[in-house]
Amino acid sequence: MLAAGDGAAEHLSGFSAWTVTIMDALGPLGVGLMVFLDSVFPPIPSELVLPLAGFTSSQGQMSIAAAIVLATVGSLVGAVVLWALGKWIGIERIARIAVKMPLVDVDDVHTTVAWFDRHGEKAVFFGRMIPIFRSLISIPAGMRDMRLPTFVLLTTAGSAIWNTILIVAGFVLGENWSIVETYAGYFQMLVIIAVIAFVLVWIVLKVRKHRRKRAAGIDDPGAEVIAPGEFTAPTRPRYARSEPPRRA
């Protein structure tokens, strides 16, 4: 594996070169380790690790099946860690913090929770294939008590698809494996732009809403309080659901 690792490392520096060194030393286990770290610490570039693993497999120095399996195991373990963190934090604790932030009110929190209750399973599955959200989606799943077997199944399926695409692409492209990282970077940039645009639109709409409420004399900051058990709902077959209450 040294030949593949050293060949790739010649064109890399800093963190990327360190990533190659880990893979060079541990083989498929290194792939799993780096993907695990990517799951709990997003700045670690799985878009670099996975295509490089595919390239190494194309040189006959790593089993492509082992790379895919261990990458998926690494993704799953990291996701479960964040799911457990979300479960430990709990939705009410986060909600109490959220409503103290500028422009955020209780209805926003309820709307977000209700959306996740309706679309959480799709969000977990497809979120594993979207940069940034790939790691973060596990936390709300834990906060809303998504059942662990369901979470594991969806995370494994989504991660396996994403990991397979990048590893196989690196395998097919061979020495041009870095093309995958380049285009994955474009995809990530599009996601970042979309998130920024969404946040800006949300801020504009919230500012307008608050101005209208203030002008009508109904802006009451004291009403933005999370009551104990406000997000507790009867357990459903998959996980708890919460609907936003009607407010006068």
The pLDDT tens digits for 33-57 are: 988 988 887 666 677 788 888 887 8
CB 200 within 8 A of CB 81: no
Q: Which residue has the higher pLDDT, 102 or 76?
A: 76
Rounded average pLDDT over 124-149: 87
Region of 39 on the Ramachandran plot (φ > 0 left; ψ -120 to 50 alpha; else beta): alpha
Highest mean pLDDT among 67-71, 86-90, 243-247: 67-71
Q: What is the pLDDT of residue 16?
A: 58
Q: What is the pLDDT of residue 58?
A: 81
CB 163 within 8 A of CB 50: yes
Domain membership of residue 238 (yes or no) is no
Q: What is the pLDDT of residue 237?
A: 41
Q: What is the pLDDT of residue 234?
A: 38
Domain membership of residue 199 (yes or no) is yes
Q: 36: Cβ–Cβ under 8 A, 6 or more apart, which residues?
A: 74, 75, 77, 78
Kindly report the average pLDDT of the chain as a whole number: 77
Q: pLDDT (tens digit, 9 = 90+) per residue, 195-244?
A: 889 888 878 887 887 777 777 766 555 455 555 665 664 344 444 444 45
Domain membership of residue 242 (yes or no) is no
CB 105 within 8 A of CB 224: yes
The total of structural domains in the chain comes to 1
pTM of the complete model: 0.75
Question: Is residue 109 over pLDDT 50?
Answer: yes
Domain membership of residue 100 (yes or no) is yes
Q: What is the pLDDT of residue 162?
A: 92
Domain membership of residue 164 (yes or no) is yes
Pick from 34, 39, 40, 36: nearest CA to 21: 34
From 108-122, 185-199, 224-238, the region with the lowest mean pLDDT: 224-238
**Residue 35, domain extent:** 2-223
Domain membership of residue 198 (yes or no) is yes
Count the Cβ atoms, other than its own, within 10 Å of residue 68.
Answer: 24
